[in-house]
Chain A
Amino acid sequence: MTAPQTLFAKVWDAHEVRPETAETPAVLYIDLHLIHEVTSPQAFTELRERGLKVRRPDKTIATMDHSTPTTPRNALGIIPVIDAQAAAQLGQLERNCADFGIRLFALGTENQGIVHVIGPEQGLTQPGMTIVCGDSHTSTHGAFGALAFGIGTSEVGHVLATQCLLQRRPQTCAVRVAGRLGTGVTAKDIILAIIAKYGVGGGTGYVFEYMGEAIRALSIEERMTICNMSIEGGARAGMVAPDTTTFQYVSGRPHAPQGADFERAVAYWSSLPSDAGAAFDKEMTLDADELTPMITYGTNPGMGMKITEAVPDPAQLSDHNARVALDKALAYMALQPGKPLLGHKVDVAFLGSCTNSRISDLRVAADLLKGRKVAEGVRMMVVPGSQQVKKQAEAEGLDTIFRAAGAEWREAGCSSCLGMNDDRVPAGQYCISTSNRNFEGRQGPGARTFLASPLTVVATAVSGVVTDPRTLL
């Protein structure tokens, strides 16, 4: 009898072209390679210089998302790219895709969007796959029970040329989330709480598998929110065992297997969950019953707390380095230790990013925003994750709710999550954001970010100050 195996081990083992040895890393086969304009140009240059082809253009999909504007279309229905450098980068991706025969979802076309939104949307993301992209938030796709992780540009070149990566086998960490979420508490709060508890380096070297009653109860899109931020906990990837929720989500999507092929796929996917008694190298726990809405106060995602708590005091930290880091963070954020964030003024509210820009996020946000107004002095940006999400939201009238409340309804892209386009938060201003990183300067030089759930972002946008969404439900 073989030893019980983890979900990770089953997916990894099925993709070993060559297992690792003491001298050489494993050669790992990649089922789906997603590329975008920012981290791919230098990889294509490498291929051209060496006279190499793209081995499997049929397993490679490109989109435009990072440096694209989210401003309205012109009279011709085109989204104009004013920034010459961004336009050149987008043009380069178009040429690369044409030259190497890769399918591209170009800016403004019907399937374009954030790379981690379109993969699942198109049914490209499936359980048991290995998925990579030159983007750290590739961990998102692990919500389907895929092994999905971010790679650098050199590795983008490796996968383009060989459909493989050289990898050392990571360790595994079981992240058990017991209990049930209360009203107003969301998947975003689960992952912010895990990172606050275990730190931004707690998962380094590990692949997380999220499990337990609270995870099972989540929709696929909520699981994506959690897996998305695995990298913020330092993890290589995050996974959730596939179940009927997963199969139903994949079923019928454009690139999903159909008919008898789908039935065969489900039979295989059903064999992937970790066996009873499978051993993990590490374990983390969280009790969803105890959870409240979370918010970050500092300059990394681990500097988070319950929204009802006070900003911690560096003077009370015994570790010198931690004290220095917190001092620096609070100076950047211009926050007083010991004071609560509730009631703190914000200038911008951002609803979007690969963490929280899917249709379910927009529905939840619109539901709370309906009949309310964005507070005076607050700019609220709503940026759907893809053109398909935008279309669906408009079909449901969600855009009308956002506009009526005074929020901006924009085109799809990464937008203010990283401020590569003009959707930046001005220096010194506070932004309550559904995105994934609150690093110094992430949303623009000098920008100050509070990370929170879509519900907390809406509650704060309408109040003009940091607000516990449970008070409005």
Chain B
Amino acid sequence: MKPINTFNGKIAALPVPDIDTDRIVPARFLKVTSKDGLGEALFADWKVRADGTPDAEFPLNRPETQGATVLIAGDNFGCGSSREHAPWALQAGGFTAVLATSFANIFYSNALKNGLLPIIIDHETYEQLVSLAEEDPETQLTIDLAAQTVTLPDGRAVHFPIDGFSKVCLLNGVDQLGYLVQQDDAISAYEQRTPAPVSTLT
């Protein structure tokens, strides 16, 4: 995983609450056995009308949102299925961060594991960013993971929360599996000290 620190990104907004992972990647795209090639699957049934033609109304189809890397979305982004294909597809679609007023738990965890930065913002900032995306589609934000800030074009820096452990992993490009594998002795000790029936599977 590549380390993340400070980056600038152009915004695009999907100002809708409860964007579920079936919307992000419809289930029929889940028959893959690798993480690659999911760009086409991203918002597949939102990008295209029922008759198969591109929906010009869909914000990410507009010419001015091309090249956007920071997605702005409403409450409870990523609710529903646990499919990690959702963050993989967002990354394949060019996104490096999602800013939302809240996230579903599993999506949030999956995003962190892949270096797609899920950033929780307050409602006021959200409304400001949605307006900015409409008024000036070239709007760029500066995201500083070390400082945990998103800097808006007016210079206002908004602090965002992130778990310290995840932050260290992202800053150093270290994945969590490596850390867990190093816990081998502690895991073995747990297995030895914990008798049935706490662990009863036969």
* Interface set of A (CB-CB < 8 Å, partner B): 14-15, 17-18, 22-25, 27, 29, 31-32, 38-39, 41-42, 45-46, 50, 52, 55, 58-59, 66-67, 83, 85-86, 88-89, 92, 124, 126, 128-129, 134-136, 150-155, 157-158, 161-164, 166, 168, 170, 200-201, 204-205, 231, 234, 236, 255-257, 261, 264-265, 268-269, 300, 302, 321-322, 324-325, 328, 418-420, 427-428, 437, 439-442, 445-446
Q: Looking at the complex, which one of A154, A255, A427, A445 makes contact with B84 (CB distance below 8 Å)?
A: A154
Complex-state Cα separation, A175 to B191, whole angstroms: 33
| Residues of B close to A59: CB separation below 8 A | 201
- If A42-B35, A126-B200 touch, whether A52 touches B181 (CB-CB below 8 Å) is yes
Nearest CB in chain B: distance from A440 CB, A: 6
13 contacts between A and B (CB under 8 A): A18-B186, A24-B165, A29-B190, A41-B34, A67-B30, A85-B31, A135-B82, A150-B106, A154-B175, A166-B165, A261-B202, A321-B75, A442-B22
A420 touches B50 (CB 8 A): no
Interface size, chain B (Cβ < 8 Å): 61
Are A268 and B31 in contact, CB atoms less than 8 angstroms apart? no
Given A17-B190, A150-B82, A446-B50, CB of A441 within 8 Å of CB of B180: no
Residue of B nearest to A320 (CB): B127
Contact B201 A151 (CB under 8 A): no
Stretch in B108-116, B143-151, B152-160 with 4+ CB within 8 Å of A? B108-116
What residue of chain A has the Cβ atom nearest to residue B31's Cβ? A85
- Report which of B17, B26, B33, B114 forms a contact with A321, defined as CB distance below 8 A: B17
**Cβ of B35: which chain A residues have Cβ within 8 Å of it?**
42
A205-B105 contact in complex given A325-B16, A420-B27, A439-B22, C-beta closer than 8 Å: yes
* Contact across chains for A328 and B16 when beta carbons are under 8 A apart: yes
A234–B180 touching, CB < 8 Å: no
Of A39, A128, A300, the residue contacting B198 (CB under 8 A) is A128
Query: Which residues on A sit within 8 Å (CB–CB) of B199?
Result: 29, 31, 129
How far, in whole Å, are A158 and B182 apart by their CA atoms in the complex? 12
CB-CB under 8 A for A200 and B79, given A155-B109, A164-B180, A166-B176: yes
Residue from B28, B82, B164 within 8 A of A151 (CB atoms) = B82
Known: A15-B198, A201-B75, A420-B30. 18 other contacts (CB 8 A): A17-B187, A31-B199, A32-B201, A66-B30, A86-B31, A128-B198, A135-B81, A152-B82, A152-B106, A154-B84, A154-B176, A162-B184, A261-B196, A268-B197, A325-B16, A440-B23, A440-B46, A446-B50
**B91 contacts the other chain (CB 8 A):** no
Residues of B within 8 A of A134 (CB): 82, 84
Give the chain B neighbours of A85 by CB distance below 8 A. Answer: 31-32
Assembled-state Cα–Cα distance A38/B177 (Å): 20
B30: nearest residue on chain A (CB-CB)? A38
Is A420's CB under 8 angstroms from B76's CB? Answer: no
How many angstroms from the CA of A274 to the CA of B27 in the assembled complex? Answer: 38
A161 touches B76 (CB 8 A): no
Chain A residues lying within 8 Å of B110, measured Cβ to Cβ, are 152-154
